[in-house]
Every structure is written in C-alpha cells, then in structure tokens.
Amino acid sequence: MTFDRYSSDVLADFSRRPVREKPPTREATFDLVVEDVASDFCGSVVRTEGKMVELEDRRGRRRMFPLGGGFLFEGTPVILVAASAARPAGALRTASGSVKAPDARARVARASRIFVEGRHDAELVEKVWGDDLRGEGVVVEYLEGVDHLDAVLKEFKPTPARRVGVLVDHLVSGSKETRIADAVMRAQGENAVLIVGHPYIDIWQAVKPGRLGIEAWPNIPRNIEWKHGICASLGWPHDDQADIAAAWQRILGRVRSYTDLEPELLGRVEQLIDFVTSGEGAR
C-alpha cells in the first residue's frame, strides 16, 4: 500500500498564534507582596480604595496603582482585584488566635488590671489581644517606665480579688528591671501581683524582623539611644520624637496577628491574662 503525502490538508492543525491564557486573579489582601511591572515597584498591599491599591516597599515608601493587570505575584502575572468583603467559612478568630464569640460584646471592666511599660507596649497588646481583653473585661494601662511601678501599685492597692499583672521589657538576669520586679513582688505578694517580662531591650524587638524585610534587628551600641539607633540602621528618619513615633507606626502596621510576634512575648501576655481573669482575681 502506497502512502500519499498529498492526500490530506497539511494546514488543518496549524495555529498561526498560540492562544494566550488570561492571568489568574488575586485578591489584594493586606500584606500581599506584588510587583508593578511598568515601574518595577515591589511592595506589600497596605489598603485598597475604590479602583486603586496602595503598596508599601521595604523602605516604607508608598505608591498607589490602579487595580487590574500589570502585576507579578511571585514572578507570575496576576490580575489584582479588591479583596472580597465576604467572611470566610468556619469559626472566626481574633488576632491572638482565639476563637471569636459570635456578636461578642465588651463586658464590664474587672477590678484587676494589666500594666505595661509604655505606650508602644499598650498599642501592640491592644492590636493583638484587644478583642480577648474586651471580652474578658480587662483594662490595659501603661506605666511610662518601670521606675514608677512601686508608686503605681501603692496607689492601686492590689489584692487577691483586685489583681495586677505587669509586663516588663528587658526582664533578664542582672538588669535594673529585674531588680525592681523582684523587690515589688516581695512587697506585694504573688497572689496579688504577677510581674513577667520578655528579654528584648524594647517591645519593638518582639516583632519578628522578617515582617520588616530584615533578617535580624540591628545591634546598637550602648552609647546610642536604642530607638534612634534602630531607625538610623534601617535608613529611617530619626531626628526627633515625631520620627520615632512614625517608625513605630510603621512597625505596628506590619503586625497582623500573633504569628508576627516572638514566642517570648506571646507566652507572657497569655500568662498575665490568665492571672487577672482566674481565681479570686476573676471576680
């Protein structure tokens, strides 16, 4: 049998141009890292507004872009769309990882309190544990420095039914903070006051460095004010207190939930919440 090479249409299966598949869509959820192809600007999603999305790069610079095509996610083209307003199925959780009660309302404040060293500490605790604390009726106040702790407690007059939990920075062997904590605990009694702390020089370090796009927090010499030194090392403005406040807001803005914090802080805050909401202190 002879094969006839001219018996069929050689162009029957020919396609002059391959069909280009439409890039997949991706929701512009907070902290999603994408790259704008036209400008090479790479950053994480800060917010969406109307048909625009705002990105922030690792140096804190922000730019607005129109939603739609022209973005890369992990090197792959995507069409960026506004995040869905629909709630995910299943149990909702708070930023601390706790299951959120449906239609939970803040309860009347307990007599017990949690004190933290400064405003930044209070803001971080509020961001991650705020829902839990409101549900338990626990108020968080800041001391403006651990040096004032003894005077604050003498005025508050803690008892086993009116407990105080205290979160202290840099609570390590031989530190000033440890000496103050030991003296206060001896004077107040362990059934009325619990003082715990993390090993970091400042609450800033309790945020995982990867959230800021760095491998580790810089080491700052002791003769340089720590926060100013951190800002200088990271290339952030640090001339005055307004710059320091702006730096903290940048750091705080990177925190989404407990997963962005170091375990040395997580366990201590949970310990304080348990202390002021259990036993006689739960009344």
CA distance 210 to 155: 41
Which residues are CB-contacts of 282 (< 8 A; sequence separation ≥ 6)?
110, 112, 276
Q: What is the pLDDT along the chain (283 residues), one digit of tens a residue?
A: 555 555 555 555 555 555 567 889 999 988 788 999 989 898 888 888 888 898 888 777 888 999 999 999 888 899 999 887 444 445 566 777 666 665 555 567 788 999 999 899 999 999 999 988 988 899 999 888 888 899 999 999 999 999 999 999 989 888 889 999 999 988 888 889 999 999 999 999 999 999 898 999 999 999 999 999 999 999 999 999 999 999 999 999 989 888 899 999 999 999 999 999 985 544 4
Does pTM top 0.85 for this prediction? Answer: no
| pLDDT for res 100 | 65
pLDDT at 86: 42
Instruction: Catalogue all structural domains in the chain, each as residue range(s) with its CATH number.
Output: 25-82 (2.30.30), 113-207+255-278 (3.40.50)
The string of DSSP codes covering the chain is ----TTSS-TTTT--SSPPPPPPPEEE--TT-EEEETTTTEEEEEEEEETTEEEEE-TTS-EEEEESEEEEEETTEEEEEEPPP-SPPSS--B-TTSPBPPTT--PPPPPS-EEEESSHHHHHHHHHHHHHHHHHHT-EEEE-SSGGGHHHHHHHH--BTTB-EEEEETT--TT-HHHHHHHHHHHHH-TTTEEEEE-SSSSGGGGB-GGGGT-SSPPP--TTS-HHHHHHHHTT---SSHHHHHHHHHHHHHT--SGGGB-HHHHHHHHHHHHHHHSGGGG-
Rounded Cα–Cα distance for residues 258 and 263 (Å):
9
